[in-house]
Amino acid sequence: MVYVPSFMNYLDEYNKQKRNIHTVDDWVKFRNEWFDESQWPLKTPFQLTEESLRKRGPKKIAGRLWVYTTYMYDISPEARYEFFSALYNIGHPLLFNYSGPKTAENGWNQNCPYCEISTNEIGDDTCPVCTRKLLYSRVMD
C-alpha cells in the first residue's frame, strides 16, 4: 500500500498555514512541521528498476516532448504533487532570487509531479495527462 504523509490527513490546517507563509522563516517552519521526509519510505531498488523500465523516454504528449522524472520517496501521487506544488510555488520563490521570464533559455521547465513528467517546451500550463496545473521549476533548483 502506498504511503500517505500525514499532511494529507490534515489538509484544512495545512492549507490554512500554507496561506500564511510570507517569509523564508515562515517557509522553513512550515516545511519542518509538515514535510518530515525522514519519515517517508524510500523506494526500494526493485521499485526503482521497475520505474526505469516503465519510464522510457522522452515521449511526445499533446505536441510537446516530455521526459519522466523520479522521486526517491514512495509517497502517493497526490501527496507528491502537493509537496512539490508547495516547494516550487511557495518555498523556492522565497529562497531563490528569481528574475526574468520563465523560459527554457532561463533554465525553466514545466512539470507534473503527479504524472512524473517534465518538459522544457514551455506552453499550456495544464498537464496533458491528468489536467492538474503544471508547476514551473528551474533546472538549477
Residue among 90 and 116 whose Cβ is closer to Zn ion: 116
Out of 115, 119, 122, 135, the only residue in the binding site for Zn ion (CB under 5 A) is 115
CB of 117 to Zn ion, least distance (A): 7
Using the contact rule CB under 5 A, the part of the chain among 3-11, 19-27, 39-47, 119-127 near Zn ion is: 119-127
- Region of 116 (left: φ > 0; alpha: ψ -120 to 50; beta: rest) is left
Considering only residues 29 to 88 of the shown chain, the ones binding Zn ion according to CB under 5 A are: none
Measured CA to CA, the distance from residue 111 to residue 130 in angstroms comes to: 12
Residue among 31 and 64 whose Cβ is closer to Zn ion: 64
How big, in percent rounded to 5, are the helix, strand and coil portions of the chain?
40, 20, 40
Using the contact rule CB under 5 A, the part of the chain among 24-32, 37-45, 61-69, 132-140 near Zn ion is: 132-140
Using the contact rule CB under 5 A, the part of the chain among 47-55, 94-102, 103-111, 121-129 near Zn ion is: 121-129
Measured CA to CA, the distance from residue 91 to residue 138 in angstroms comes to: 13
Q: Report the DSSP beta bridge partners of residue 60.
A: 65
Out of 95, 130, 133, 139, the only residue in the binding site for Zn ion (CB under 5 A) is 130
112 binds Zn ion (CB under 5 A): yes
* Backbone torsions φ then ψ of 117, nearest 5 degrees: -130, 155
108 binds Zn ion (CB under 5 A): no
From the CA atom positions of the chain, what is the Rg in Å?
16
